[in-house]
């Protein structure tokens, strides 16, 4: 079918159109953008983002990004603003008005009201000559040559440009504030992402299971220790629980294949010296990275040069980190 043959071409054209539009915005990031970010950093208020139609949906997304990266923000629909919701805005708040044309009727009603309230206004707009742009304190240009829609009608490339400019603003504010992974975790405590950012090894490991044997432990004692603690391994330790090595189920199987005199075997003879370890205060996601890098399923957990337990891949799976 002709229609099916055109699907790939149409999809590629859409992506190329939007990619080119974003690259064309790069020259418009200049002194005004920098001054806008500097002014936002000084404000004691919030950022109120408003728009109508598809720009309202984009505004919601920008608000979500700002809030999640440490900039207090709220969404105000432009139509609601001129029908009673202007009370949401405080005098010290910045207002970002998102509009492709900058000339919609609701925007023309709203802008003078914002000016009367004394709020600074940022126009995220696709037309620098529009009413909105000429009334704003700062203009963040998000203009495009054409929409990805073949009829140049459906908001596609224009909304992509608006969201990208909102992202650029949010990340500049994030960077200027020194917003770290730990800061991000405070705003994202739920789900796998949050757990990766705040859960530490000590929070995940089972401290009740601590398989340890001395270097001169018999094979029987090693097997009993591994079996009773159900972690598939035991640490071999010296004085003050100083780590010497590790013995895993795999070590035992390989040893048994050689059919030695089992009665004479001691832990020190079959252990793997210098095993992979991790500190108890390290992030759990770091433990996952080490396990993947070395293709192992557990790490010995250390604290003040002392063995305090193991963290197993199953511990990370239970927390949803894997």
User: Does the pLDDT value for residue 30 go beyond 70?
Assistant: yes
Residue 78, pLDDT score: 94
Cβ proximity of 18 and 156 under 8 Å: yes
Of the candidates 270, 276, 322, the one whose C-alpha atom is nearest the C-alpha of residue 301 is 276
pLDDT in tens, 262-284: 778 889 888 999 899 999 999 88
User: Does the pLDDT value for residue 231 go beyond 80?
Assistant: yes
User: Does the pLDDT value for residue 52 go beyond 80?
Assistant: yes
**CATH assignment of 201-318?**
3.10.580.10
Mean pLDDT of 164-190: 81
Q: Which two structure tokens, joined as six digits, stand for 14? A: 């859409």
Mean pLDDT of 155-163: 96
User: Does the pLDDT value for residue 4 go beyond 70?
Assistant: no
Mean pLDDT in the chain? 90
pLDDT band at 306 (very low <50, low <70, confident <90, very high): very high
Using a pLDDT cut of 70, give the percent of the chain over it: 92
Q: Which two structure tokens, joined as six digits, stand for 221? A: 């004692």
User: Does the pLDDT value for residue 3 go beyond 60?
Assistant: no
The answer to whether 83 is a known ligand-binding residue is no
Of the candidates 43, 86, 82, the one whose C-alpha atom is nearest the C-alpha of residue 66 is 43
Of the candidates 283, 300, 319, 199, the one whose C-alpha atom is nearest the C-alpha of residue 244 is 300
Domain ranges of the chain: 2-179, 201-318
User: Does the pLDDT value for residue 117 go beyond 60?
Assistant: yes
Select, from the ranges 7-11, 45-49, 263-267, the one with the highest average predicted confidence (pLDDT).
45-49
pLDDT band at 239 (very low <50, low <70, confident <90, very high): confident
pLDDT band at 209 (very low <50, low <70, confident <90, very high): confident
Mean pLDDT of 56-82: 94
Using a pLDDT cut of 90, give the percent of the chain over it: 65
Q: What are phi and psi for residue 248, nearest 5 degrees?
A: -110, 170
Of the candidates 71, 63, 75, the one whose C-alpha atom is nearest the C-alpha of residue 39 is 71
Q: Which of 253 and 201 is assigned the larger pLDDT?
A: 201
Residue 259, pLDDT score: 61
Architecture of the CATH domain 2-179: 3-Layer(aba) Sandwich (3.40)
Per DSSP, the residues of 54-66 read HHHHHHHHHHHHH
pLDDT in tens, 182-199: 666 666 666 656 666 678
Select, from the ranges 96-100, 203-207, 317-321, the one with the highest average predicted confidence (pLDDT).
96-100
Mean pLDDT of 61-82: 93
Task: State how far the Cα of 262 lies from the Cα of 277, in Å rounded to an integer.
Answer: 29
Euclidean distance between the first and the last CA atom of the chain, given in angstroms as a whole number:
43
SS3 243: strand
Residue 105, pLDDT score: 94
Span of 171-175, 193-197, 244-248, 273-277 with lowest mean pLDDT: 193-197
Mean pLDDT of 248-275: 83
User: Does the pLDDT value for residue 219 go beyond 70?
Assistant: yes
Cβ proximity of 272 and 188 under 8 Å: no
CA torsion 220-223-224-229 (nearest 10°) is: 160
């Amino acid at each position: 079918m002709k229609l099916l043959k055109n699907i790939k071409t149409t999809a590629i054209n859409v992506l190329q159109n939007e990619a080119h539009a974003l690259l064309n915005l790069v020259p418009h990031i200049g002194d005004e953008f920098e001054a806008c970010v500097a002014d936002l950093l000084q404000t004691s208020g919030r950022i109120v983002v408003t728009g109508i139609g598809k720009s309202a949906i984009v505004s919601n997304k920008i608000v979500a990004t700002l809030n999640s990266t440490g900039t207090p923000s709220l969404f105000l629909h432009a139509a609601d603003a001129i029908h009673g919701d202007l009370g949401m805005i405080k005098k010290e708040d910045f207002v970002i008005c998102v509009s492709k044309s900058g000339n919609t009727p609701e925007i023309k009603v709203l802008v003078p009201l914002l000016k009367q309230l004394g709020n600074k206004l940022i126009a995220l707009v696709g037309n620098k000559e529009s009413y909105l742009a000429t009334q704003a304190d700062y203009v963040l240009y998000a203009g495009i040559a054409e929409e990805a829609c073949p009829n140049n009608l459906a908001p596609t490339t224009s909304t992509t440009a608006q969201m990208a400019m909102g992202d650029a603003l949010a990340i500049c504010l994030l960077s200027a504030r020194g917003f770290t992974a730990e800061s991000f975790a405070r705003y994202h405590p739920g789900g796998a992402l949050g757990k990766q950012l705040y859960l530490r090894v000590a929070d995940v490991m089972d401290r009740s299971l601590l398989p340890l044997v001395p270097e001169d432990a018999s094979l029987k004692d090693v097997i009993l220790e591994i079996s009773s603690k159900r972690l598939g391994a035991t640490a071999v330790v010296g004085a003050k629980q100083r780590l010497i090595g590790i013995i895993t189920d795999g070590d035992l199987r390989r040893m048994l294949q050689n059919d030695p005199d089992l009665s004479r075997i001691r832990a020190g003879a079959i252990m793997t010296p210098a095993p992979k370890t991790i500190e108890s205060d390290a992030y759990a996601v770091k433990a996952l990275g080490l396990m993947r890098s070395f293709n192992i399923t557990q790490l010995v957990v250390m604290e003040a040069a002392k063995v305090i337990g193991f963290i197993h891949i199953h511990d990370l799976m239970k927390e949803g980190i894997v």
